């Protein structure tokens, strides 16, 4: 009988980050421990300290994994959109699909945002991911902007980024789907008004 193949180190790191996300969604940041994460991943506690220099580093990896999941969902929605306006709309809607509106996912997002306030490694990852998302949005806005409206891209980008965070928070409080959709469509209307 062949021995069980050994997992690559990168696979173990990803598995630990995924386990950390599941623990965050289920238990919240305040109740998170390395022991819980190791158990969730089906690994020994030593794997956590071997693969991550600190819990902050593990949380940063979990944050990046959550962001990658959102980006992949957005990429799938953008794949079949030809017009720049359709691509912008798909990008905005990607973060508001049922999987990303589950209370457990929203709790994890808020916990990671909060942790970023006092944990530099998590803050660095949050900033990097935020900047990458902003850059993707800027590319989409640039594609719809007429040449004479190009100076408005930055302000439109700022408004949409702030609105998206507000829509997330409003959804957490009220769970009003119509309100969220209206707000997202208002972002589209604003982009059209200012850039086309």
* Across 141-151, average pLDDT: 97
Residue 39 forms part of a structural domain = no
Give the domain extent around 72.
Answer: 60-195
Residue 126 belongs to some domain of the structure: yes
Full-prediction pTM beyond 0.85? no
| Token couple for 129 | 């991911």
Summarize pLDDT for 7-21 with one digit per residue, the tens.
566 789 999 999 998
- 143, part of any domain: yes
The whole-number pLDDT of residue 3 equals 46
Determine the pLDDT at residue 9. 66
Report pLDDT digits (tens) over 31-90.
889 999 999 999 999 999 999 999 889 988 988 888 888 778 777 777 787 899 999 999
Supply the pLDDT for residue 7.
57
User: Is residue 4 included in any domain, yes or no?
Assistant: no
Residue 1 has pLDDT above 50, yes or no: no
- CA 13, distance to chain mean position in Å, is 19
Does residue 14 lie within any of the structural domains? no
Is 42 inside a domain boundary?
no
CA distance 67 to 176: 24
CATH code of the domain containing 187: 1.10.357.10
Q: Which residue has the tokens 């970023």?
A: 116
Per-residue model confidence (pLDDT) at position 51: 94
Is 159 part of any domain? yes
Task: Return the percentage of the chain with pLDDT > 70, whole number.
Answer: 95
Alpha helices in 28-119 (DSSP H): 34-41, 45-51, 55-78, 84-94, 103-116
The tally of domains found in the chain comes to 1
Q: What is the mean pLDDT of residues 133-149?
A: 96
Q: How far is CA 6 from the centre of its chain?
A: 30
For residue 29, being part of any structural domain is answered with: no
């Amino acid at each position: 009988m062949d021995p069980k193949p050994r997992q690559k180190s990168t696979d173990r790191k990803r598995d630990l980050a995924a386990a950390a996300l599941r623990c965050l969604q289920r238990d919240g940041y305040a109740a998170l421990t390395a022991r819980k994460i190791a158990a969730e991943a089906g690994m020994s506690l030593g794997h956590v300290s071997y693969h991550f220099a600190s819990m902050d580093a593990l949380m940063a990896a979990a944050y990046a994994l959550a962001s990658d999941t959102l980006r992949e969902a957005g990429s799938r929605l953008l794949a079949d959109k030809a017009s720049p306006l359709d691509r912008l709309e798909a990008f905005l809607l990607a973060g508001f699909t049922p999987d990303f509106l589950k209370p457990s996912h929203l709790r994890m997002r808020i916990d990671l945002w909060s942790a970023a306030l006092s944990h530099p490694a998590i803050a660095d990852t949050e900033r990097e991911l935020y900047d990458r998302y902003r850059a993707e949005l800027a590319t989409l806005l640039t594609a719809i902007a007429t040449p004479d409206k190009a100076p408005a891209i930055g302000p439109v980008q700022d408004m949409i980024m702030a609105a998206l965070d507000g829509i997330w928070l409003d959804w957490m409080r009220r769970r009003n789907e119509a309100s969220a959709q209206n707000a997202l469509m208002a972002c589209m209307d604003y982009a059209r008004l200012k850039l086309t």
